[in-house]
């Protein structure tokens, strides 16, 4: 592997070797291990994000390695494990099963009506738990070997097992959450591990001391109540309030610094691409007008690093099954990989 690195030309054409960006690393030689979670069983609007990891992998081969924030960031070693086909196959099966439940609810009928769908719901929740447990075990193994970890979804339910693994290493960490949605619904549509419940489930982890949400613009009253009653454990920066401040003359960089001031020293970034303007990832599961520009998000992350805080992990979720979405998603993954490494090594 070291010999490969000596012969490697970062300005050359990416090799199709199964790894992100065609980089010449394996599990042992990489600092950052990337797990794909092709899971979108409970998606309630547009499907396709289970293919997000493959789209990101394919698109990553077109990205130049020079990064303005950390030109040598790729040298840390980045390795993406093979996309688990067994999870993708289970996803395809349970996705169809979940559609029956979603349709029944849309009709205003009980799951216990004929045919009784409660066993289907139980099976879906168990399958979600198995995916979480698999990811927890994989992440904990990597963390115990001194690796950094990233997750590529799937829908936004994907990283829960990683949150739980980080809680075994850090007594206290915060989540910086980019999203159009608060994802604070309790078992949305009765699915315990719904994409719309990821942050509700995260808040069950006591080691997560702070959740700071940015670009939220599609939210229900129950979620607003959870935020308002969280004793500032959850801080929401709603899109209308963000825009109003910017229109009033506040600079984005000053607002970024304010947002970051709420976070503890160790920060996990959870990036649902529907937090961006939908022109950037139009095929995401639940697109909402408005949102951040890509450089606005990067600026926020830069200010996080500049503040001296450490990025301890990240996920990128809800990338749709389309070439353009994969292109944007791959760039986000690479940017976060470089900023994570920069934050860990910055003095």
The 10 Å Cβ neighbour count of residue 255 is 20
272 annotated to a ligand binding site: yes
Q: Is 274 annotated to bind ligand?
A: yes
Number of C-beta neighbours around residue 88 at 10 A:
19
User: Is 262 part of any known ligand binding site?
Assistant: no
Q: What is the DSSP letter of 116?
A: P
Say if residue 195 carries a ligand binding annotation: no
186 labelled binding-site residue: no
Whole-number Å distance between alpha carbons of 265 and 304? 10
- CB 210, CB 262: distance < 8 Å: yes
Tell me the H-state helices in the chain. Answer: 2-6, 52-60, 85-106, 118-144, 160-166, 198-202, 221-228, 239-247, 252-260, 294-306, 323-345
Taking the alpha carbons of 57, 59, 65, 71 in that order, is the dihedral positive or negative? negative
Residue in 143, 1, 10 with CA at minimum distance from that of residue 75: 10
Going by the annotation, the residues of the binding site are 156, 179, 181, 183, 272, 274
Going by the annotation, the residues of the binding site for Mn(2+) are 156, 179, 181, 183, 272, 274
């Amino acid at each position: 592997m070291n010999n490969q690195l000596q012969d490697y030309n970062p300005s050359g054409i990416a090799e199709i070797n199964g790894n992100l960006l065609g980089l010449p690393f394996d599990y042992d030689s990489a600092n950052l291990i990337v797990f794909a979670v092709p899971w979108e069983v409970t998606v309630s609007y547009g499907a396709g994000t289970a293919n997000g990891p493959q789209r990101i992998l394919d698109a990553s081969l077109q990205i130049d390695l020079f990064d303005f924030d950390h030109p040598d960031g790729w040298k840390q070693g980045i390795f993406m494990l093979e996309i688990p086909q067994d999870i993708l196959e289970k996803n395809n099966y349970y996705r169809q099963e979940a559609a029956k439940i979603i349709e029944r609810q849309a009709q205003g009928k009980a799951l216990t009506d004929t045919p009784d769908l409660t066993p289907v719901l139980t099976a879906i929740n168990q399958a979600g738990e198995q995916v979480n447990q698999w990811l927890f075990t994989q992440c904990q193994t990597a963390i115990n070997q001194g690796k950094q970890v990233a997750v590529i979804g799937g829908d936004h339910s994907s990283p829960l097992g990683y949150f739980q693994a980080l809680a075994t290493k850090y007594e206290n960490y915060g989540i910086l959450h980019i999203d159009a949605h608060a994802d604070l619904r309790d078992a949305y549509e009765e699915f315990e591990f719904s994409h719309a419940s990821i942050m509700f489930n995260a808040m069950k982890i006591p080691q997560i001391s702070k959740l700071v949400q940015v670009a939220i613009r599609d939210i229900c009253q129950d979620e607003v109540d959870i935020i308002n009653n969280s004793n500032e454990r959850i801080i929401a920066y709603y899109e209308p309030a963000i825009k109003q401040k910017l229109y009033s003359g506040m600079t984005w960089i000053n607002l970024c610094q304010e947002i970051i001031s709420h976070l503890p020293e160790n920060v996990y970034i959870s990036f649902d691409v529907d937090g961006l303007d939908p022109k950037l990832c139009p095929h995401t599961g639940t697109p909402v007008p408005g949102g951040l520009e890509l450089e606005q998000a990067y600026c926020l992350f830069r200010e996080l690093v500049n503040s001296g805080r450490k990025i301890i992990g990240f996920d990128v979720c809800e990338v749709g099954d389309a070439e353009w979405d994969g292109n944007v998603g791959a760039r986000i993954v690479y940017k976060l990989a470089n900023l994570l490494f920069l934050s860990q090594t910055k003095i």
